[in-house]
């Protein structure tokens, strides 16, 4: 009761504030097109603003914290050349990727990869300065230059919405590309302080800084997900500095108490003149989960990750081909840190809750870091820590080794077995079946080889299909079946079950013949006995229009129960499922 009363008071307070200050509760959309005529009011594509700054300045500055929606800014594809940073000092959502070839593109037309919206600072300044909770989505930021944060400087304090059960609101940077930005101090692409920014589905390439080639975060706990870091460089000198060719960080956000999370990310060919070719952290408290590190180089040590008093959780990652070594972790007091488990670490890692692998992950190729069917990383990660999807947006977990147990794979990519389709043929008993009788339902199941398909009927894949005529046999189409080796079963109404064991299905499989289905199992108990004979006898010489007609005893499916059906039952008397097909 008291909880409801508090909610009511809070709601009334919001309503009074809305009325008193006339703050809008609906958000406006502002339009930007670099090729638009001048003097537009920004309220439509036809009257779009020509630059992003004007749109931000027209956005509603008053935001009811945690409640009201933010104004949006839609930007057509094209290049926006700037000479000074764009300031975001209010809650606003900025979206790029709208095609400039369309007069009035909508959200369904938006594609930031096909229609890039580019903010090019041309070396004059950084691209954005973020002071407040906002969203930047679908922009390319390039050639930014500053002392801290070549593309973005972000010190937006998380907005405390914990009283509304919404947690903290921090800036969101999503679907963006950061290329060739540089900082003379920290954070070649992004510098953040005191902010728990979500960075998702972004690419960082060829950014550089003396600390944190792509990202540097101070007293922050960012969430970095589904991002790719390639060719970024920490350019600072010596062994005494915090390195991080891609990411460096010091401390965490003690206000929110969050941990930094790096999930489903790929780190390739990043370099550090000091420690941590890819990542270097001190006292950050990080979770590094389902990432792949390869080809990263540190001048001193730890090609992939260097941790100083970080106490990280590192699980389900691939660390392979980094130099001079993969990992180096120092904690106080000096003890072996055991928060590293279920990874594939070149050279091995002897401490952890569970064993870490030390085997070639079997990448598809030198520039393709998916894993092949031979990889030991398949189905060996942690389902507990696994995100719902991988870097390529493939669902996790997938049963990649076809053992009936779906376990997430180690690394940023889930192995997704190729699928195939083929024609499955069966023959039905009964020579006088009319044409319409070929439309017969069948059930097809694919099991782990060696399964007891009767006692434990849990298949890897199952299809309920209708057959069609093909000569004197029936055919049905199997589609989207992962390639592999299976025990395959098939049955229909009042037939026994056929099984073909250890059948290999490949991408070149065109057809599979499952033999002849034996008729006579009127009660579907997987055997032909007196019970089935009784069903036949009580329906003897009846047709579909008779009350006593039982379709389950019409073994030849011709809508009449007679001697032909009796003969089929007699021919298969006392036989039982499964019937082996070779």
Instruction: Give the whole-number percent of the chain exceeding pLDDT 70.
Output: 90
Q: For 83, list phi and psi in degrees, rounded to 5.
A: -120, -5
> Looking at residues 155-161, what average pLDDT do you find?
85
pLDDT the model gives residue 561: 93
pLDDT the model gives residue 448: 87
> Looking at residues 193-206, what average pLDDT do you find?
96
pLDDT the model gives residue 362: 97
Q: What is the mean pLDDT of the chain?
A: 90
- Is residue 574 in some structural domain? yes
pLDDT-based confidence at residue 23 (cuts at 50, 70, 90): very low
Instruction: Give the whole-number percent of the chain exceeding pLDDT 90.
Output: 72
pTM of the model: 0.80
> Looking at residues 37-55, what average pLDDT do you find?
95
pLDDT the model gives residue 460: 86
pLDDT higher than threshold 70 for residue 441: yes
What distance in Å separates the CA atoms of residue 95 and residue 47, rounded to the nearest whole number?
A: 18
Are 279 and 242 a contacting pair, CB within 8 Å? no
Are 569 and 487 a contacting pair, CB within 8 Å? no
- Is residue 401 in some structural domain? no
pLDDT higher than threshold 80 for residue 14: no
**Extended beta strands in 42-158, E state:** 71-76, 78-81, 86-88, 92-98, 117-120, 128-130, 135-137, 139-142, 145-148, 152-154
DSSP H or E stretch at residue 224: strand 223-225
pLDDT higher than threshold 50 for residue 13: no
Q: Residue 88, exposed/middle/buried by CB under 10 A (0-12, 13-18, 19+)?
A: buried
> Looking at residues 418-447, what average pLDDT do you find?
82
pLDDT tens track for 511-542: 999 999 999 999 989 999 999 999 999 999 99
pLDDT tens track for 488-509: 999 999 999 999 999 999 989 9
pLDDT the model gives residue 161: 79
Helix pair 530-538, 563-571: axis angle to 10 deg: 180
pLDDT-based confidence at residue 148 (cuts at 50, 70, 90): very high
- Is residue 399 in some structural domain? no
pLDDT the model gives residue 350: 74
Q: Give the residue carrying structure tokens 């006339």.
A: 22
pLDDT higher than threshold 50 for residue 10: no
pLDDT tens track for 83-109: 999 999 999 999 999 999 999 999 889
pLDDT higher than threshold 50 for residue 476: yes
- Is residue 262 in some structural domain? no
Half-sphere exposure of 431 (CA within 13 A, CB side): 3
pLDDT the model gives residue 124: 97
- Is residue 504 in some structural domain? yes
Long-range CB contacts (within 8 A, 24+) of 155-159: 155/130, 155/131, 155/192, 155/193, 155/194, 155/195, 156/130, 156/131, 156/132, 156/195, 156/197, 157/194, 157/195, 157/255, 158/133, 158/194, 158/195, 158/196, 158/253, 158/255, 158/256, 159/65, 159/66, 159/133
Expressed as residue numbers, the domain containing 573 is 419-580
What distance in Å separates the CA atoms of residue 347 and residue 327, rounded to the nearest whole number?
A: 10
> Looking at residues 393-411, what average pLDDT do you find?
90
Cis peptide bond N-terminal to 324, omega within 30: yes
Comparing 292 with 39, the larger pLDDT belongs to 292
> Looking at residues 208-225, what average pLDDT do you find?
96
pLDDT the model gives residue 22: 45
pLDDT tens track for 223-280: 999 999 999 999 988 666 789 999 999 998 888 888 999 999 999 999 999 999 999 9
pLDDT the model gives residue 17: 45
pLDDT the model gives residue 184: 96
pLDDT tens track for 109-147: 999 999 999 999 999 999 999 999 999 999 999 999 999
- Is residue 250 in some structural domain? no
- Is residue 494 in some structural domain? yes
pLDDT-based confidence at residue 65 (cuts at 50, 70, 90): low
> Looking at residues 163-191, what average pLDDT do you find?
91
> DSSP letter at 422?
E
Comparing 437 with 36, the larger pLDDT belongs to 36
DSSP H or E stretch at residue 15: helix 2-21
Q: Look at residues 363, 405, 357 and name the one whose alpha carbon lies nearest to residue 383.
A: 405
Task: Give me the number of domains the chain comprises.
Answer: 1
- Is residue 259 in some structural domain? no
pLDDT higher than threshold 70 for residue 5: no
pLDDT higher than threshold 80 for residue 19: no
pLDDT the model gives residue 335: 62
pLDDT-based confidence at residue 290 (cuts at 50, 70, 90): very high
Comparing 454 with 219, the larger pLDDT belongs to 219
Are 216 and 248 a contacting pair, CB within 8 Å? yes
Query: Where do runs of H (alpha helix) occur along 215-276?
Result: none
CATH number of the domain that residue 558 is part of: 2.60.40.4130
């Amino acid at each position: 009761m008291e909880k409801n009363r508090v909610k009511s008071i809070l709601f009334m307070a919001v309503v009074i504030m809305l009325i008193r200050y006339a703050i809008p509760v609906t958000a406006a959309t502002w339009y930007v097109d670099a090729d638009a005529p001048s003097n537009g009011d920004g309220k439509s594509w036809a009257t779009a603003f020509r630059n992003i700054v004007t749109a931000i300045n027209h956005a509603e500055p008053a935001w009811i914290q945690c409640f009201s929606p933010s104004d949006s800014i839609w930007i057509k594809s094209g290049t926006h050349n700037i000479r000074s940073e764009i300031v975001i000092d209010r809650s606003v959502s900025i979206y790029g990727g709208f095609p400039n070839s369309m007069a009035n593109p909508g959200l369904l037309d938006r594609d930031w990869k096909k229609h890039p919206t580019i903010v090019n600072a041309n070396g004059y300044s950084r691209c954005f300065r973020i002071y407040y909770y906002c969203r930047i989505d679908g922009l390319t930021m390039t050639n930014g230059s500053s002392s801290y944060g070549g593309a973005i400087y972000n010190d937006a304090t998380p907005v405390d919405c914990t009283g509304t059960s919404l947690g903290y609101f921090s800036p969101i940077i999503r679907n963006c590309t950061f290329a060739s930005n540089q900082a003379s101090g920290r954070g070649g692409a992004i510098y953040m302080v005191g902010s728990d920014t979500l960075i998702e589905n972004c690419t960082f390439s060829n950014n550089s800084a003396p600390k944190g080639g792509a990202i540097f975060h101070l007293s922050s706990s960012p969430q970095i997900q589904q991002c790719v870091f390639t060719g970024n460089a920490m350019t600072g000198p010596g062994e005494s500095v915090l390195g991080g060719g891609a990411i460096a960080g010091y401390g965490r956000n003690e206000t929110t108490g969050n941990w930094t999370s790096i999930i489903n990310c790929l780190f390739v060919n990043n370099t550090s003149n000091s420690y941590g070719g890819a990542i270097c952290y001190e006292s950050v408290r990080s979770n590094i989960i389902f990432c792949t590190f390869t080809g990263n180089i540190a001048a001193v040590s730890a090609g992939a990750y260097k941790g100083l008093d970080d106490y990280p959780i590192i699980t389900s990652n691939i660390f392979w081909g980094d130099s001079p070594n993969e990992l180096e972790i120092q904690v106080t007091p000096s003890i072996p840190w055991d928060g590293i488990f279920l990874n594939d670490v070149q050279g091995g890692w002897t401490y952890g809750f569970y064993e870490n692998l030390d085997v070639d992950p079997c990448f598809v190729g030198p520039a393709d870091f998916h894993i092949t069917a031979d990889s030991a990383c398949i189905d060996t990660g942690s389902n507990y820590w696994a995100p719902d999807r991988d870097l390529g947006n493939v669902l996790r977990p997938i049963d990649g080794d076809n053992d009936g147990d779906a376990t997430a794979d180690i690394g940023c990519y889930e192995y997704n077995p190729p699928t195939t389709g083929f024609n499955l043929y069966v023959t039905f008993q009964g020579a006088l079946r009319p044409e319409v009788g070929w439309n017969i339902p069948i059930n097809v199941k694919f099991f782990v080889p060696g399964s007891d398909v009767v006692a434990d009927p849990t298949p890897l894949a199952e299809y309920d299909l209708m057959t069609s005529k093909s000569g004197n046999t029936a055919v049905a189409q199997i589609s989207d079946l992962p390639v592999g080796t299976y025990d395959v079963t098939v049955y229909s109404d009042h037939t026994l079950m056929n099984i073909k064991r250890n059948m290999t299905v490949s991408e070149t499989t065109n057809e599979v013949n499952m033999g002849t289905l034996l008729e006579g199992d009127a009660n579907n108990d997987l055997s032909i006995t007196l019970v089935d004979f009784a069903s036949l006898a009580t329906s003897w010489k009846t047709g579909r229009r008779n009350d006593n007609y039982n379709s389950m005893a019409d073994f030849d499916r011709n809508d009449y129960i007679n001697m032909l059906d009796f003969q089929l039952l007699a021919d298969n008397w006392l036989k039982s499922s499964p019937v082996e097909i070779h």
